[in-house]
């Protein structure tokens, strides 16, 4: 395990010692008339009831369990401070995720707002703190606006098809940390396995840049790999660290792979006048992902991806994982089924999930939550929020693909509409400008514009039909003259297939739930034997296609009305996991 690990620490790649988890019981109030701000609730809310944060009021885990729509909700918690103990330090409040517009007050002092439901954001509490008891108030504003990035959250009064109960307000950890006035704000870590180096880009907050430097120490299983000292002359500091060390192994580095997810420990010290003023712990993996000659290469070797679609919903807590242990259990069961990765679908998961993917060697496609209408405000909101997420999760070696769009959601006319096509191209290039290494899939499933991987969705139930379709009509499907399973064209108008790797990124979705009602793809199977026959048939058909370099099965678990999971909502396997594993890992 990495040295920086702290159980339940919400930001596992940027760890400090002084922090406090604010999850737990908070005062809570609905504000259906939206009168709270005008009525002074920023100073004190009417304590109508309590809620268990970070679970939303819609969930049973919150203690409320009201699935109806309330667009304005308020939270309140009493917290104590000693200004003497704080001294010259700053106190930061972090919210890992709150949907959708979040406003914060401390002791009636308004501290600001954040728009977006999926990325971490921060407020500085320091100037509003008083000795003794303080009153922290948070308001969340949500809506059913289809232009708002919402992922799988419904925008109607009830669930339908594959859209589920909305998520309103705080749904990830709320926490505080005490930090020095001079500090490292962030670090971007980029490994290069060819030069055996790690590039580092720091953002530093300081009153002055005199006699200030950053010391970086890299170790691997307690072996010192290298140290680096660089002066801080401005807010942005860039340096490169050689990590080659033949004392580690004959090749000089340990690479990160699913089979051997090697991770290096790293510590950063901001030093002023010879005295450390800020210490941050982290880790990184040395790995490379690139596209070459129609293949996806991990560290220079072809990578066959056996992915499973993971929506990250739980029975009683919806989008919020019930615990860190629940995240670990999901990953262990996914690996037991013979998969080597997940397509995290329409959700930016708790960052502890990415930690455990890094540790266990689980490949991750990181996918943005979709909006469902296209207009100027939607474009602006999506772009800003997507880049917050890319920056936040860039350092995780397990993430090997960015997927900003899915099935033309939010860009419904992208096949012919040049404005929507330009939008996808802009997001592609903006993402690549920040992360030149990882592949970007611009519109997963169909109607691709510019994309590093060509992905197709096909819920054909017969393996024979599946194999025949992609053998007989391969060129026509890739050229968009024949559509897979009567879906949409592979490429948007004006774009053509240019030899990208091909992955069947959604298939299966077999409805199977021991006779209970529910929704899935195709005819429902009756028992385990029927399920395994169909699962084997379609999975093996894809594996036999020589031009396809991976697949993604739908899905990990049932979600509310959707019963096409390999597990039910209580995370019980529906079929023998060893039999599923054998099918996934069998050579064909």
265, 3 contact by CB (below 8 A): yes
Specify the pLDDT at position 65.
Answer: 97
Please state, in angstroms and rounded to a whole number, the distance separating the CA atoms of residues 352 and 393. Answer: 11
Res. 44: pLDDT tops 70:
yes
Q: What is the 3-state secondary structure (H, E, C) of 98-167?
A: EECEEEEEECCEEEEEEECCCCCEEEECHHHCCCEEEEEEEEEECCCCCCCCCCCECCCCCCECCEECCC
Res. 523: pLDDT tops 90:
no
- Do strands 49-53 and 24-30 pair parallel, antiparallel, or not at all (unpaired)? antiparallel
Beta carbons within 8 Å of 498's beta carbon, 6+ residues apart: none
Specify the pLDDT at position 57.
Answer: 98
Confidence of residue 470 (pLDDT cuts 50, 70, 90): very high
pLDDT by residue (tens digit) across 451-462?
A: 999 999 999 999
CATH (residue range 183-192+194-284): 2.60.40.10
pLDDT by residue (tens digit) across 326-353?
A: 999 999 999 999 999 999 999 999 999 9
228, 216 contact by CB (below 8 A): yes
456, 551 contact by CB (below 8 A): no
DSSP class per residue in 224-291? EEEEEEEE--SSEEEEEEE---TTT-TTSSPBB-SSSB--EEEEEEEEETTEEEEEEEEEE-B--EEE
Residue 572 DSSP SS3: coil
Res. 378: pLDDT tops 90:
yes
- Do strands 19-21 and 174-179 pair parallel, antiparallel, or not at all (unpaired)? antiparallel
CB atoms near residue 93 (< 10 Å): 20
DSSP percent split of the chain into helix, strand, coil, nearest 5: 20, 35, 45
In the structure encoding, which two tokens stand for residue 66, read together? 């009201």
Averaged pLDDT, 203-226: 93
Averaged pLDDT, 428-442: 97
pLDDT by residue (tens digit) across 288-317?
A: 999 999 999 999 999 999 999 999 999 999
In the structure encoding, which two tokens stand for residue 559, read together? 């979600």
**What H or E segment, with its residue span, contains residue 179?**
strand 174-179
Specify the pLDDT at position 264.
Answer: 97
pLDDT by residue (tens digit) across 257-289?
A: 999 999 999 999 999 999 999 999 999 999 999
Specify the pLDDT at position 514.
Answer: 63
Q: Is the dihedral of CA 224, 230, 236, 240 positive or negative?
A: negative
**What value, to the nearest 5°, has the Cα angle with vertex 215 and ends 212 and 218?**
170
Res. 476: pLDDT tops 70:
yes
Phi-psi category of residue 30: left, alpha or beta, with phi > 0 → left and psi -120 to 50 → alpha: beta
- CA-CA-CA-CA torsion for 82, 86, 87, 88, nearest 10 degrees? -150
User: Where do the structural domains in the chain lie, given as residue ranges?
Assistant: 23-172, 183-192+194-284, 300-585
Specify the pLDDT at position 207.
Answer: 86
Averaged pLDDT, 391-412: 98
DSSP 587: -
CA 305 to chain centre: 18
Res. 517: pLDDT tops 80:
no
Looking at the chain, the whole-number percentage of residues with pLDDT higher than 90 is 91
**What value, to the nearest 5°, has the Cα angle with vertex 281 and ends 275 and 283?**
140
Res. 32: pLDDT tops 80:
yes
Looking at the chain, the whole-number percentage of residues with pLDDT higher than 70 is 99
Please state, in angstroms and rounded to a whole number, the distance separating the CA atoms of residues 331 and 324. Answer: 11
Confidence of residue 520 (pLDDT cuts 50, 70, 90): confident
Please state, in angstroms and rounded to a whole number, the distance separating the CA atoms of residues 450 and 406. Answer: 14
Specify the pLDDT at position 515.
Answer: 60
Averaged pLDDT, 481-509: 91
Averaged pLDDT, 544-565: 95
Please state, in angstroms and rounded to a whole number, the distance separating the CA atoms of residues 208 and 319. Answer: 43
Averaged pLDDT, 402-427: 98
Topology at the third CATH level for domain 300-585:
TIM Barrel (3.20.20)
In the structure encoding, which two tokens stand for residue 530, read together? 């029927």
Specify the pLDDT at position 82.
Answer: 95
In the structure encoding, which two tokens stand for residue 127, read together? 């100037």
Q: Which residue pairs from 45-50 have beta carbons closer than 8 angstroms and sit at least 24 positions apart in sequence?
A: 45/74, 45/75, 45/76, 45/137, 47/76, 50/25, 50/26
Confidence of residue 367 (pLDDT cuts 50, 70, 90): very high
Averaged pLDDT, 233-250: 88
Q: Which residue pairs from 108-113 have beta carbons closer than 8 angstroms and sit at least 24 positions apart in sequence?
A: 108/40, 108/42, 108/43, 108/44, 108/135, 110/42
User: Which residues make beta-bridge pairs with 188?
Assistant: 201
Peptide bond preceding 530: is omega within 30 degrees of 0, i.e. cis? no
Res. 248: pLDDT tops 90:
no
Phi-psi category of residue 330: left, alpha or beta, with phi > 0 → left and psi -120 to 50 → alpha: alpha
CATH (residue range 23-172): 2.60.120.260
The mean predicted confidence, pLDDT, of the chain is: 95
Specify the pLDDT at position 468.
Answer: 95
Q: Which residue has the tokens 């000089």?
A: 252
């Amino acid at each position: 395990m990495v040295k920086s690990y702290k159980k339940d620490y919400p930001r596992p790649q940027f760890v400090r010692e002084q922090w406090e988890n604010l999850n737990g019981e908070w005062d809570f109030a609905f504000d259906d008339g939206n009168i709270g701000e005008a009525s002074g609730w920023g100073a004190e809310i009417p304590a109508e009831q309590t809620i268990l944060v970070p679970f939303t009021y819609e969930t049973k885990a919150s203690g409320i369990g009201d699935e109806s729509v309330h667009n304005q909700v308020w939270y309140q918690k009493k917290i104590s401070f000693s200004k003497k103990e704080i001294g010259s330090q700053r106190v930061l409040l972090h919210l890992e995720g709150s949907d959708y517009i979040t406003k914060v007050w401390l002791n009636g002092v308004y501290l600001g707002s954040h728009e977006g439901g999926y990325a971490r954001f921060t407020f500085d509490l320091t100037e509003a703190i008083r000795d003794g008891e303080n009153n922290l108030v948070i308001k969340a504003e949500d809506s059913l606006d289809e232009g708002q990035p919402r992922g799988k959250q419904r925008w109607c009064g009830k669930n339908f098809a594959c859209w589920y109960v909305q998520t309103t307000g705080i749904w990830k950890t709320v926490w505080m940390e005490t930090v020095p006035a001079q500090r490292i704000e962030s670090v971007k870590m980029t490994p290069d396995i060819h030069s055996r180096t790690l590039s580092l880009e720091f953002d530093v907050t300081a009153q002055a840049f005199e006699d200030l430097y950053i010391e970086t120490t890299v170790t691997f299983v307690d072996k010192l790999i290298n140290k680096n000292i660089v002066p801080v002359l401005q807010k942005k500091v860039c340096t490169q660290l050689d990590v080659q060390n033949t004392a580690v192994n004959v090749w000089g580095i340990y690479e990160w792979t699913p089979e051997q997810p090697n991770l290096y420990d790293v510590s950063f010290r901001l030093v002023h006048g010879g005295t450390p003023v800020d210490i941050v712990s982290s880790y990184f993996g040395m790995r490379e992902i690139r596209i070459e000659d129609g293949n996806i290469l991990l560290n220079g070797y072809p990578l066959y991806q056996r992915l499973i679609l993971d929506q990250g919903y739980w029975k009683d807590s919806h989008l919020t994982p019930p615990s860190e242990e629940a995240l670990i259990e999901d990953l262990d069961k996914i690996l037991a089924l013979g998969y080597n990765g997940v397509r995290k679908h329409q959700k930016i998961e708790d960052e502890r999930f990415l930690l455990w993917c890094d540790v266990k060697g689980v490949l991750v496609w990181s996918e943005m939550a979709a909006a469902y209408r296209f207009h100027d405000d939607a474009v602006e909101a999506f772009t800003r929020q997507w880049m917050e997420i890319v920056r936040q999760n860039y350092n995780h070696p397990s993430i090997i693909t960015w997927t900003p769009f899915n099935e033309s959601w939010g860009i419904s006319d992208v096949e012919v509409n040049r404005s929507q096509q330009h939008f996808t191209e802009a997001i592609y290039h903006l993402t690549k400008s920040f992360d030149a290494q990882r592949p970007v899939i611009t519109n997963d499933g169909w109607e691709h514009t510019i994309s590093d991987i060509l992905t197709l969705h096909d819920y054909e139930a017969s393996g024979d039909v599946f194999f025949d379709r992609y053998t007989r009509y391969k060129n026509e499907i890739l050229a968009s003259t024949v559509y897979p399973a009567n879906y949409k064209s592979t490429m948007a108008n004006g774009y053509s297939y240019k030899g990208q790797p091909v992955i069947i990124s959604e298939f299966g979705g077999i409805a199977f739930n021991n006779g209970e009602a529910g929704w899935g793809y195709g005819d429902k199977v009756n028992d385990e034997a029927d399920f395994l026959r169909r699962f084997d048939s379609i999975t093996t058909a894809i594996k036999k296609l020589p031009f396809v370099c991976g697949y993604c099965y739908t899905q990990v678990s049932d979600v509310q009305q959707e019963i096409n999971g390999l597990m039910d909502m209580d995370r019980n396997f529906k079929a023998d996991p060893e039999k599923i594993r054998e099918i996934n890992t069998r050579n064909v």
